[in-house]
Structure 1
Amino acid sequence: MSQVATISVQPLAPAGVAFLATLLAAAAGLPVGLDTGLIAEALGDIGQAFHASYRVQEWIVSVLMIGAAAGSLGAGAVSYRFGRRRTLLLAMLLVGAGAYLCLSASGVGQIIAGRLLIGVAVGTCAFTAPLYIAELATGDMRGRMVSIFSMLQSIGILAGYLVGGLCSAGGHWRWMVAFPLLPAALLFAAYFLLPESPAWLAARGRADAARRVLLRVRDDPARVDAELAAMAAERTRDRVGGFALLRRQPNFRRSVALGIGLQMFQQLGGINVVMYYAPRILEGAHADPAMAVWATVLVGGVNALVGLLAVFAVSRWGRRPLLVVSCALMAGAMLAAAAIVATDPPGAGVPVGLIAALLIFVAGFGLGAGPLVWTLCSEIQPLEGREFGVATSTLASWCGDWVVSNTFLSIVAVVGLPRAFIGYGVVNVLFILFTLRFVPETKGVPMEAIEAHLMAGEPLRRIGCPT
């Protein structure tokens, strides 16, 4: 008599469930980055197809930030009302709708409308994914997983550059702008598998559901009880809206101001000048068009590689040291780029030297300023005002992004590329000073402890581990 072998499938351990859930949430960074890479490569072809001026092209790029600002403003209310998971589902629907509008565009207006919808989705993802990760992951996993969100943005940018590079020879810009439909559809299906944030469930009075989720993602039942007790204590407070808390609580105003400052410095330092306009910068420095396209792909590759390294560095080195090193690299690279363009050496010196400077700049950003700002902004806000605080800092990010992307070509036309680079270099020097004065070290510190230190009036730079 034959025996039939049976295979026993073991369920994932709680740590594995937490990792997979937060990884799926972090994957929202893919379509965010993908659109950045694609529009950088498609912009020239779109401009030629519709005879768009430089000013119109600036709006094609920057309208996404207007949508993202609106998305970040609305994401707090939507996320609070319907939950983090449903908000991510909505964002993927908006990405698909916006990509379809761009694909079928018969004029610039339809492309702008499509990119506005994608921008709303991008702002929603940028708010919701780090918040979800911060609320589901353990303290030792939190920084790494939020960094993975940033790393996947970088991988999305690289994928966009690659798709754009392959399609650019034939002028297939419609294929480029349609590509985000694929990851949006896959993530929409995957997000049905996510558990809801236990912090959101507890805040809505659903303690039993919060316990079930926590037992799936924590190895220690005693830790689950401690987290639930902290959430219950939070619910017993006299809760007010985020804006009312801002008026009432000066310590909350400090954390909101710190989040705004971090995001504005991150954007005004010039990262999206490189991400959106690298082909235009290199062609302006006399690079061959094909060289400019594939050098942009190289920029995306370095951005993705360093983003991967940052996932490990953020948990090993801590937030403050990485952020200072990151800003120093960015400042030095921008000032070097200014010197290279200004001296205008003969032959291939400008393109090759400029490419090297841009690669160092992107590496510096991916090492620290990119992932760490999002990590810190989700860590420093107290639970009672977390949606408002993260939404406010996310809004500041998109406002800064819009300022840079909507003005770069015009600034260069007025003051020249070297002076523009000098300006971005100075901003990064100021970012170093801001970090040393105000940014706390939060590596491995429970968010409840960060909140307690903040509300006790500790200086901002010490709310992670006050002495």
Structure 2
Amino acid sequence: MKTAAPEPASQVDPESLRQGRQNAFLFAGAAGLAGLMFGLDTGVIAGALKFMGAELQASDRAQEWIVSSLMLGAAAGSLLAIPVSKHRGRRGAMFYAGLLFLIGTGLCALAPSIPVMIAGRIFLGIGVGFASFSAPLYIAEITEKSRRGKMISIYQLVITGGMLLALLSDSLLAYGGHWRWMLGILAVPTVLFILATTQVPYSPRWLAMQGRKHEAHSVLQKIRGSKQQATEELNRIEQNLKKTSGSGLALLKSSPGFRKTFTLGILLQMFQQLAGINILLYYAPHILEHLHFSAQAAVWCTTLLGLANMVATGFAILLIDRWGRRPLLLTSTIIATISLTLFGFLLYSHVGGTFGSVAVVTLLVIFTLGFATGEGPIPWTMCTEIQPLQGRGLAIACSTFANWITNWLISNVFLSVMSVIGDFGVFWTLAGFNAVFFLIGYFLVPETKGCSLEEIEQRVKANVPLREIGQPLSSASSSTQHTVPLGMQKG
């Protein structure tokens, strides 16, 4: 493809630039519906579980498998999404995710037995794995670098919004115990998501990887509004693709520094799940009913936790580039550790009455606020910032897999463990995990606020201590620094 002559600044139409940004925002928004589906499908089980368990005569062990089978499917889906996204494009992977969501929703809503329910949850999980890998990657690849970090953060916010909507729907349908409607109503947004994926273009980076340069240039011009910017960005994409010709596995073998960041990424994702937020959201109604809340009150309280999760995630988006990653993470782990420890003492002391009910909900809300401020968003941000370009795809795939496998493990044994060591023992154990998370953050996690990815990569390859891989940018270059949550990942 011939390189177009640069457009004089006077010939760059401001209206075209505005239209390009609007197109990029619309395409990113359509892909962002994957986050909504992610949140809806993972959050809906909390309110439906009790009623479903009663009708299907599911034991505690069976309920654990119903809940955790989605995470097992998501772990598999996060790995299967890599070749699908490479050969069919990010758009193709999102479309397949939508089909999987639709199949899983139908099986779950109509399930006549526990095995069919588990099969439906596995389909949903594979869809979640596809979506959690391909949608952020697509958004990152079509969004301008100056807006990329914010758009990915907003995607995480959309996930919490989906969970909140699922919990709210559960609360409204709980009065009649309509668990099949709780699950089946998700078919509506699923169809909208499938239709949306057919309307967005392929990402220009994937098109360039396939040698379809003319199409890549056409998409870039549509989302940038300038032929000159499209040409320049396509040239940068091609140069980046040449730099990532080596494999991540080869880098893992040869670079001690990458082995450190690779391991840190896995630890961050594992302890994000060991902190306990997801099992709390999945099993909160069960826990609250155990504390003598009514079924309806338990579901509404869980909805309150979903609201706290979403609000605190939005708060973290505003602070992550102001306060920095480490302060948010350390503060978050302290709040989570203290609140869960006190919650365990509350359960151990059998505090009842109005005071006990208010204290229970208050401590759970405080824990959720604390978690979502740092332990929730920071691992996803850090795992992309600290990995060198050549190994970023491998590192993110493995850390995401670790996240889902840990999620599956703890959700699969939660009720069984609680029956052995007691409810207070479970929450003291979770408090202990949060305390270990604090130690990991304090001794190993670097501060990457105000750092360029290139500078971080140089220090990783130089094998400096993990705490020192963050290097502040000069004031002259800080205006151009950005975080690339998945966009430069090798597809």
Query: Is TM > 0.5 for Structure 1 vs Structure 2?
Result: yes
320-329 vs 164-173, which deviates more?
Answer: 320-329
Shift of 1:285: 1.8
240-249 vs 260-269, which deviates more?
Answer: 240-249
Q: Map 1:25-36 to 2 at 5 A.
A: 25-36=31-42
After superposition, what is the alpha-carbon deviation per residue over 1:237-288, rounded to whole angstroms, capped at 9, x for unaligned?
5834443443344443333222211110100110112110001111112223
Shift of 1:429: 1.8
Q: Map 1:384-399 to 2 at 5 A.
A: 384-399=390-405
After superposition, what is the alpha-carbon deviation per residue over 1:167-220, rounded to whole angstroms, capped at 9, x for unaligned?
122121111111221222112211233343343333334444444444444589
Query: Alpha carbons of 1:459 and 1:403: their partners in 2 closer, same or farther (altered >3 Å)?
Result: same
Q: Map 1:344-383 to 2 at 5 A.
A: 344-383=350-389
46-55 vs 296-305, which deviates more?
Answer: 296-305
| 2:411 alignment partner in structure 1 | 405
TM-score by length of 1: 0.90
In structure 1, the residue corresponding to 2:177 is in which secondary structure? coil
- Quick check: 2:31–2:196 contact (8 Å CA) kept in 1? no
Q: How many angstroms apart in 2 are the aligned matches of 1:197 and 1:464?
A: 30
Query: Alpha carbons of 1:184 and 1:42: their partners in 2 closer, same or farther (altered >3 Å)?
Result: same
| 2:426 alignment partner in structure 1 | 420
Q: How many angstroms apart in 1 are the aligned matches of 2:42 and 2:181?
A: 15
After superposition, what is the alpha-carbon deviation per residue over 1:371-398, rounded to whole angstroms, capped at 9, x for unaligned?
2322332333333333322211110110
Q: How many angstroms apart in 1 are the aligned matches of 2:324 and 2:93?
A: 30
**RMSD between aligned alpha carbons?**
2.6
Shift of 1:48: 0.7
Which of 75, 81, 87 is residue 81 of structure 1 equivalent to? 87
Query: Alpha carbons of 1:155 and 1:138: their partners in 2 closer, same or farther (altered >3 Å)?
Result: same
450-459 vs 121-130, which deviates more?
Answer: 450-459
125-134 vs 151-160, which deviates more?
Answer: 125-134
| 2:265 alignment partner in structure 1 | 259
| 1:3 alignment partner in structure 2 | none
Q: Map 1:166-205 to 2 at 5 A.
A: 166-205=172-211
Q: How many angstroms apart in 2 are the aligned matches of 1:281 and 1:181?
A: 29
In structure 2, the residue corresponding to 1:317 is in which secondary structure? coil
373-382 vs 441-450, which deviates more?
Answer: 441-450
Query: Alpha carbons of 1:396 and 1:453: their partners in 2 closer, same or farther (altered >3 Å)?
Result: same
Query: Alpha carbons of 1:207 and 1:432: their partners in 2 closer, same or farther (altered >3 Å)?
Result: farther
Q: How many angstroms apart in 2 are the aligned matches of 1:464 and 1:216?
A: 36
345-354 vs 450-459, which deviates more?
Answer: 450-459
| 2:116 alignment partner in structure 1 | 110
- Quick check: 2:451–2:471 contact (8 Å CA) kept in 1? yes
Q: How many angstroms apart in 1 are the aligned matches of 2:353 and 2:76?
A: 46
| 2:276 alignment partner in structure 1 | 270
What is the identity, as a one-letter code, of the residue corresponding to 2:151? M
In structure 2, the residue corresponding to 1:416 is in which secondary structure? helix
Q: Are 1:451 and 2:457 matched, yes or no?
A: yes
- Quick check: 2:48–2:179 contact (8 Å CA) kept in 1? yes
Q: Are 1:328 and 2:346 matched, yes or no?
A: no
Structure 1, unmatched stretches of 5+, are: 1-8
- Quick check: 2:46–2:281 contact (8 Å CA) kept in 1? yes
Q: Are 1:158 and 2:164 matched, yes or no?
A: yes
Shift of 1:355: 0.8
| 1:314 alignment partner in structure 2 | 320
Shift of 1:144: 2.1
After superposition, what is the alpha-carbon deviation per residue over 1:63-94, rounded to whole angstroms, capped at 9, x for unaligned?
01110010011111211222212111111111
Q: How many angstroms apart in 2 are the aligned matches of 1:185 and 1:423?
A: 41
Structure 2, unmatched stretches of 5+, are: 1-14, 474-491
- Quick check: 1:265–1:431 contact (8 Å CA) kept in 2? yes
Query: Alpha carbons of 1:17 and 1:23: their partners in 2 closer, same or farther (altered >3 Å)?
Result: same
- Quick check: 1:130–1:375 contact (8 Å CA) kept in 2? no
358-367 vs 24-33, which deviates more?
Answer: 24-33
What is the identity, as a one-letter code, of the residue corresponding to 1:434? I
TM-score by length of 2: 0.86
Q: How many angstroms apart in 1 are the aligned matches of 2:119 and 2:282?
A: 19
- Quick check: 2:244–2:389 contact (8 Å CA) kept in 1? no
Aligned residues: 459
313-322 vs 181-190, which deviates more?
Answer: 313-322
In structure 2, the residue corresponding to 1:194 is in which secondary structure? coil
Query: Alpha carbons of 1:324 and 1:213: their partners in 2 closer, same or farther (altered >3 Å)?
Result: farther
In structure 2, the residue corresponding to 1:236 is in which secondary structure? helix
What is the identity, as a one-letter code, of the residue corresponding to 1:19? F
Q: Map 1:272-291 to 2 at 5 A.
A: 272-291=278-297
Q: How many angstroms apart in 1 are the aligned matches of 2:459 and 2:238?
A: 19
Q: How many angstroms apart in 1 are the aligned matches of 2:470 and 2:214?
A: 30
- Quick check: 2:244–2:390 contact (8 Å CA) kept in 1? no
- Quick check: 1:134–1:146 contact (8 Å CA) kept in 2? yes
- Quick check: 1:88–1:191 contact (8 Å CA) kept in 2? yes
Q: Are 1:128 and 2:134 matched, yes or no?
A: yes
Q: How many angstroms apart in 2 are the aligned matches of 1:446 and 1:14?
A: 26
What is the identity, as a one-letter code, of the residue corresponding to 1:177? L
Q: Are 1:55 and 2:61 matched, yes or no?
A: yes
380-389 vs 348-357, which deviates more?
Answer: 380-389
Q: How many angstroms apart in 2 are the aligned matches of 1:401 and 1:149?
A: 20
Q: How many angstroms apart in 1 are the aligned matches of 2:331 and 2:38?
A: 26
Task: Report % sequence identity.
Answer: 42
Shift of 1:408: 0.9
After superposition, what is the alpha-carbon deviation per residue over 1:292-312, rounded to whole angstroms, capped at 9, x for unaligned?
121111111212222233332
Q: How many angstroms apart in 1 are the aligned matches of 2:243 and 2:317?
A: 36
- Quick check: 1:24–1:191 contact (8 Å CA) kept in 2? yes
Query: Alpha carbons of 1:241 and 1:335: their partners in 2 closer, same or farther (altered >3 Å)?
Result: same
- Quick check: 2:217–2:234 contact (8 Å CA) kept in 1? yes
Shift of 1:230: 4.7
| 2:479 alignment partner in structure 1 | none
In structure 1, the residue corresponding to 2:317 is in which secondary structure? helix
Shift of 1:13: 4.1
